Chain A
Amino acid sequence: MRKAFLIVLLIFSTSLPQDKKPGDSLNLFSPPNIKKFADYLFCQGDYLRAAGEYENYLKTNYNDTVEFKIAVSLCSMDKYSEAAGRFADIPPASALYQLSKLEFLKTYFLKGSLTEYRAKYSAAGIKSGFRYSNEAESLYNFSYLLNDGPLPDKNKFLASYMGSDRDSAIKFYNWKEDPPHKSALAAALMSAVIPGLGKFYTHEYWDGVFAFLSTGILGYLSYSDFKADHNFRGWLFAGLAAGFYGGNIYGSAASAQLFNAKVNFDFTNMLKNFLSLRNYFIPNINFCR
Chain B
Amino acid sequence: MKNKKAELIISVLILAAAPLVKAQIKSSENESRWVKWGKADYSYEIKDSFAQRDFSFDEKNPGRFVLKSLLNTYWYFISDVDGDNCSFNPTCSEFFLRSVKMTNIAQGTLMFFDRFTRDMDILGKIGHYPYASNGYFYDPPSLYTLNKNKIIYMPPSAVVSNE
Across-interface contacts of B111 in A (CB, < 8 A): 247, 250-251, 254
B116 & A247 in contact (Cβ 8 Å cutoff): yes
Q: Which residues of A contact B115 (CB under 8 A)?
A: 251
Interface centre among B112, B117, B118 (most CB of A within 10 A): B117
| Residues of B in contact with A, size category | 20 to 34
Chain B residues closer than 8 Å to A184, beta-carbon distance: 146
**How far does the alpha carbon of A206 sit from the alpha carbon of B143 in the complex, in Å?**
19
- Interface flags, B106-147, vs A, CB<8A=1, else 0: 010111111111101101100000000000000000011110
Interface size class of A (residues with CB under 8 A): 20 to 34
The reply to whether B146 and A257 form a contact with Cβ atoms under 8 Å apart is yes
B9 to chain A, nearest CB (A): 28
* Of A58-66, A169-177, A207-215, the one with at least 4 CB within 8 A of chain B: A207-215
| Residue pair B110, A210 in contact (C-beta under 8 Å) | no
Residues of B within 8 A of A211 (CB): 117
Please provide the chain A residues from 128 to 186 with a CB less than 8 Å away from any CB of chain B in the complex: 184
Are B121 and A206 in contact (CB-based, < 8 A)? yes
The docked-state distance in angstroms from the alpha carbon of A244 to that of B113 is 5
Taken together as a complex, chains A and B put the C-alpha atoms of A260 and B107 apart, in Å, by 21
Whether the Cβ atoms of A251 and B114 lie closer than 8 Å is yes
Mark B87-120 against chain A: 1 for CB-CB distance below 8 A, else 0: 0000000000000000000010111111111101
Asked if B155 CB lies within 8 Å of chain A CBs, one says: yes
Quick check: A243 and B121 within 8 Å, CB to CB?
A: no
Q: Cβ of A232 < 8 Å from any Cβ of B?
A: no
Asked if B117 and A247 sit within 8 Å, CB to CB, the answer is yes
Which residue of A207, A244, A254, A260 contacts B146 across the interface (Cβ within 8 Å)? A254
Contacting pair A248 B117 (CB below 8 A): yes
Q: Is B148 an interface residue (CB 8 A)?
A: yes
Complexed CA–CA distance, A257 and B152 (Å): 11
In this complex, the member of B109, B123, B124 whose beta carbon has the largest number of chain A beta carbons within 10 angstroms is B124
Closest residue of chain B to A256 (Cβ to Cβ) is B146
Output the least CB separation between B39 and chain A (Å). Answer: 35
Which residues of B lie under 8 Å from residue A46 when comparing CB positions?
A: none
B123-A244 in contact (CB<8A): no
Q: Within 8 Å of chain B (Cβ to Cβ): is A95?
A: no
A96 sits at the interface (CB 8 A):
no
B153 close to A (CB within 8 Å): yes
Report if A262 contacts B (CB, 8 A).
Answer: yes
Cβ-based interface call for B8 (8 A)? no
Contact status B117-A265, CB under 8 Å: no
Could you give 10 example pairs across A and B, Cβ below 8 Å? A210-B121, A211-B117, A214-B117, A243-B109, A247-B116, A251-B118, A257-B151, A258-B143, A262-B155, A264-B153
